[in-house]
């Protein structure tokens, strides 16, 4: 994003209940360290396979399938590789199967379903943009967007949370696991 006429990066860290947006003039490790989320994180980080993320060794890493799908779409369009569309379809089908299994109360896919997806896999891999006149405006945007996202993740009425914040009683989520 642009802020005060210069390029800045919007760093995002989120869980199913919390969201943090940090605006920083840099993209790499210095910015992520200053954002303060990843340096002490011990859980699983899902990301876009950018090398810098792997520098945080105290957490487990997983790769974002939304990024995989965009890359596969590009490979198919730009290089005419039909396998890319098949792989994208497999990723989406696998996601839907996992969601259905969870909906049925299962903690994981049945072993035979997992084996079939693995067999098929072995046979064939937003940006938020805009501009701000000032860095403070970009930081305000990030702070407000994180607050709204966190409220939604905690089933808090967004309009009410914003109103309460203006009255000096903002929604503050519990950091304790539920």
Contact 40, 93 (CB under 8 A): no
C-beta of residue 27 within 8 angstroms of C-beta of residue 9:
yes
CB 136 within 8 A of CB 5: no
- pLDDT tens for each residue of the chain, 178 residues long: 898 899 999 999 988 899 999 999 998 999 999 999 999 899 899 988 888 998 998 998 888 888 889 888 988 888 777 888 888 999 999 999 999 999 999 988 898 998 898 888 877 732 234 567 678 878 888 888 888 889 888 989 888 888 888 778 888 988 766 6
Domain ranges of the chain: 2-63+134-166, 65-123
d(CA 19, CA 147): 7
Indicate the DSSP class of residue 3: E
């Amino acid at each position: 994003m642009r802020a005060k006429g210069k390029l800045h990066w919007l760093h995002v860290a989120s869980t199913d209940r919390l969201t943090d947006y940090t605006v920083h003039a840099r993209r790499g490790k210095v910015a992520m360290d200053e954002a303060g989320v990843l340096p002490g994180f011990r859980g699983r980080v899902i990301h876009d396979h950018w090398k810098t993320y792997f520098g945080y060794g105290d957490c487990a890493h997983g790769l974002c399938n939304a990024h995989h799908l965009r890359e596969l779409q590009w490979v198919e369009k730009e290089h005419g590789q039909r396998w890319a569309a098949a792989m994208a379809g497999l990723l989406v089908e696998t996601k839907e199967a996992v969601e259905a299994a969870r909906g049925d109360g299962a903690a994981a896919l049945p072993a035979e379903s997992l084996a079939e997806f693995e067999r098929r896999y072995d046979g064939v891999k937003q940006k938020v943009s805009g501009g701000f006149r000032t860095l403070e405006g970009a930081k305000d945007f990030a702070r407000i967007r994180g607050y709204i996202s966190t409220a939604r993740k905690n089933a808090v009425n967004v309009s009410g949370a914003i109103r309460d914040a203006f009255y000096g009683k903002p929604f503050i989520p519990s950091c304790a696991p539920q």
